[in-house]
Structure 1
Amino acid sequence: MYKERLHVPLRWWVQAVMLCVALWYAFVVALGPLVAWGLTGAIAAGILSFFATYGATSVTVADGVLQAGRARIDVTHLAHPEPLDKEQTRRVHGVDADVRAFLHVRPWIGRSVRVQVRDPRDPTPYWLISTRRPRKLVAALVAHGAAAAPDTVDHTD
């Protein structure tokens, strides 16, 4: 089994706190303390909600199923999982992207895994999944039945 949480980095939380403090100060000067606390609290709640929902995603390989966020696919429909470094991820997500691909990417994670979809009924050519441990994800996919590409499985990550 493979499981990874793709939470937002700590620096985003620190920056959000600094933003809220700066906004609170500006609101206090301009609008008074009661309004400042209310507006800042609403903004902080919105930021917390965004970080908790957008950053609370996970990637799991278990029982022959790959799950990335809410999307699920049987691993037997996958082939040639490929670990990608930061530059390769940027290219596959950008200039070399296929509009039909399924993307489960997070901007704060530079590496990813691209895995081909070999189900003839599925128009999706591949999945691109952000991960901090691409080689472990590839190994888990192969172990659960995805057809391996040559020289992609490395258990050192």
Structure 2
Amino acid sequence: MHESTPAPAPEARVLYEEKLRPSPWIWMIAVMISSLSILVFVPIGVEIGLTVAVVVFAIIAILLTVSTPRILVTDRTLQVGRAGIEREHVGAVTGYRGEDASHQRGPALHGLAYMCLRGWIDPVVRIQIEDRRDRTPYWLASTRNPERLVEVLGGTMARAADTEEHPGTSA
């Protein structure tokens, strides 16, 4: 895994870009957590309780925003979160949804895989790494648009591949 890859050169063409922002229900949980902090401080004073709630929400919002990873594919490089690699080292790419995605995040997960996962995003894409200097076998990344990311990287979706291998069966 290549950490802290520099930004793409100006002549590199961006083919795909996605920020893995929190879902609306994550923001609702942040509001609920900050609202619960009011209950702790209301006995001291309503104003203090409201102030603490606003501060708690601000802290949660900053942490969620700062920790939002980005997927960036150019014609030369791939960046997933903090990791980046030249496209020449990208091997097979497969997208997963539903139970297949859960299987990739759980029982099928390799201990040396690089993961950029977000619990609020179900689909994942598995990107094989073909760099002999890198012990990382593959990257597993959450994405809201696995079909598009797989298309840009020249891969396939798992269900489409299963259907092609076994014509006449439904996946």
Aligned to 1:155: none
Q: CA deviation at 1:86?
A: 2.3
Distance 1:97 1:87, change over 3 A: same
Aligned to 2:54: 41
What CA distance in whole angstroms lies between the structure 2 residues aligned with 1:125 and 1:149? 18
Q: What percent of counterpart residues are identical?
A: 31
What CA distance in whole angstroms lies between the structure 1 residues aligned with 2:153 and 2:83? 15
Alpha carbons 1:79, 1:149 under 8 Å: kept: no
Aligned to 2:38: 24
What CA distance in whole angstroms lies between the structure 1 residues aligned with 2:105 and 2:138? 12
Q: Which runs of 5+ in 2 are unaligned?
A: 1-14, 162-171
Aligned to 2:106: 94
Q: Which runs of 5+ in 1 are unaligned?
A: 143-147, 153-157
Alpha carbons 1:57, 1:69 under 8 Å: kept: yes
Q: Per-residue displacement from partner, 1:98-124 (whole Å, max 9, x unpaired)? A: 111010111111101101111111100
Give the CA RMSD over aligned residues: 2.0
The secondary structure found in structure 2 opposite 1:31 is coil
TM-score under structure 1 normalisation?
0.82
Q: Per-residue displacement from partner, 1:68-101 (whole Å, max 9, x unpaired)? A: 1121011110111001112122112211111110
What CA distance in whole angstroms lies between the structure 1 residues aligned with 2:75 and 2:45? 57
Q: CA deviation at 1:21?
A: 2.6
- Number of residue pairs matched by the alignment: 145
TM-score under structure 2 normalisation?
0.76
